[in-house]
Amino acid sequence: MLAVNVKRTLPNFTLDVAFSGDGIIALFGPSGSGKTTIANVVAGLVQPDTGHIAIGDDVLFDSVRRIDVPAHKRRIGYVFQEGRLFPHMTVSRNLDYGRRMNGLPHNNSDRDRVIALLDLGSLLARRPGRLSGGERQRVAIGRALLSKPRLLVLDEPLASLDAARKGEILPYLERLQAETLPMIYVSHQPDEVKRIADQVVRIEHGKVAAAGSIDLLG
Amino acid sequence: MFELSPEEWTAIMLSLRIAITATICSLPVGIAIAWLLARGNFWGKGLLDGIIHLPLVLPPVVTGYLLLIWFGRKGVIGAFLYDVFGISFAFRWTGAALACAVMSFPLLVRPLRLSFESIDRRLEDAASTLGAPPFVVFLTVTLPLALPGLIAGTLLGFAKALGEFGATITFVSNIPGETQTISAAIYTLTQIPNGDAAAARLVIVSIIIALIALVASEWLSRRAGQRFHGE
């Protein structure tokens, strides 16, 4: 169970949110509402002023107890809006980066499973510069999965793609539901959220406007 | 005409040894300083930047003289290094390497710094979410992406170190076999009768070395750049 209760004040924007849940939680709301900041706070890339973040009994951040687990020790897989693949590495080395950094043993069956799940087999020897937008996002998802995260954060993974590419990636995202991995799915598209998420947290102006099942989207 | 005499060979090999030593020793410091200037936000950053670029604008004789005062056997730093580590710079080829390192440092740092500044820092964030601690992020993402600048800086610095004259001759004089580099040897040859042919040979050699360094730098940087754009 993921529990987030954080506050962060900037000169012209205040983020003050609390939510918790299991499974695939969608952070839903208009752009500029603070969704990506929440994702960054959970991943440890942005530090909140005060609050508490925990996955189960594992505390990732607690301003009272002065706990702040650095990003590289949080084991949170992050799929960014723009992929952020390492341009100097092949797809194959991009996929293996997280495993190597976490000192995990080679696990070919796991690697093969993820490669099959996302249809990456024909891309392995290529560099990111030679991939289409959709291919890049699939590799980014695979890279995050293979780092063996305990939570997967997807920040508008379809936002940089055109409609046709979106249609191409959505089935892969639906396949992720079978991974039984807790996820945060950031999006402002109700149709995407309905297809993927178990529950919805609606964010507006840096606050939680509503939270509940996907029926919330009407 | 193109038979190099043993003395000329000595000067060429000495120049190469001095330039290579200067480049290798200043590389780690150069990387650290370039990174600090690109990423750091600290008091005195402008001053540090200025001090590093000073050898570029100061008369080389002034730089050489300052090195002589500080790093000579009686200089504050020179005496300390000699007493504690037994390292001596005065009138030795190591002193020539130090002078070359100082003089070429701005040329080494500048392209590296520009490379560090142009790197998409979001890639570093991505690496940290994948479990890489900060120094590993630097080694596996930042430094490889700065490779074009690293190559350009290293070869430019090397070429500069190879041709350095003013600071070196002021600091460690012009001793054949110890501190007489190609430049110093050419200078000496122009001062004696019948030295023209030998001077011309060394001039040609230095032009060739400099050209090789520049062309190699261009080619390697371009190759490194291409790698990131999909080849």
The stretch A86-93 carries a mean pLDDT of: 95
Mind listing the domains of chain A with CATH numbers?
2-217 (3.40.50.300)
What is the rounded distance in angstroms from the CA atom of residue A88 to the CA atom of residue B226? 10
Residues of B with CB under 8 A from a CB of A: 120, 122-123, 125-134, 136-137, 140-141, 144-145, 147, 227-231
Chain A residues whose beta carbon lies within 8 Å of the beta carbon of residue B134 = 72
The predicted pLDDT at position B1 comes to 55
Chain A residues whose CB is inside 8 A of the B132 CB are 72, 97, 101
Kindly list the residues from chain B whose CB atom is less than 8 angstroms away from the CB atom of residue A128. Answer: 230
pLDDT tens digits for B97-154? 999 999 999 999 999 999 999 999 999 999 999 999 999 999 999 999 999 899 989 9
What value does the mean pLDDT take over residues B67-90? 90
User: How many residues are given for chain A?
Assistant: 218
Q: How confident is the model at residue A214 (pLDDT cuts 50, 70, 90)?
A: confident
Give the per-residue pLDDT at A187: 93
Taking each helix axis from N to C terminus, what angle separates A133-146 and A163-176, rounded to the nearest 10 degrees? 20
Name which of B47, B143, B156, B48 is nearest B111 in CA terms.
B156
CA-nearest residue of chain B to A97?
A: B130
Using a CB-CB cut-off of 8 Å, the residues of chain A touching B228 are 87-88, 127, 129
Q: What is the ipTM of this complex?
A: 0.92
Report the distance separating Cα A93 and Cα A86, nearest Å. 9
Judged by average pLDDT, the poorest of A26-40, A151-165, A166-180, A202-216 is A166-180
CB B141 to CB A143 under 8 A?
no
CATH class, B6-226 region: mainly alpha
Lowest mean pLDDT among A67-71, A163-167, B57-61, B85-89: A163-167
pLDDT at B36 exceeding the cut of 90 = yes
Q: CA B192 → CA A74, B9, B177, distances in Å? A: 72, 19, 18
3-state secondary structure of A162: coil
pTM recorded for the entire structure: 0.87
Question: Residues near B170 by Cβ (< 8 Å), separated by ≥ 6?
Answer: B60, B61, B63, B64, B65, B67, B68
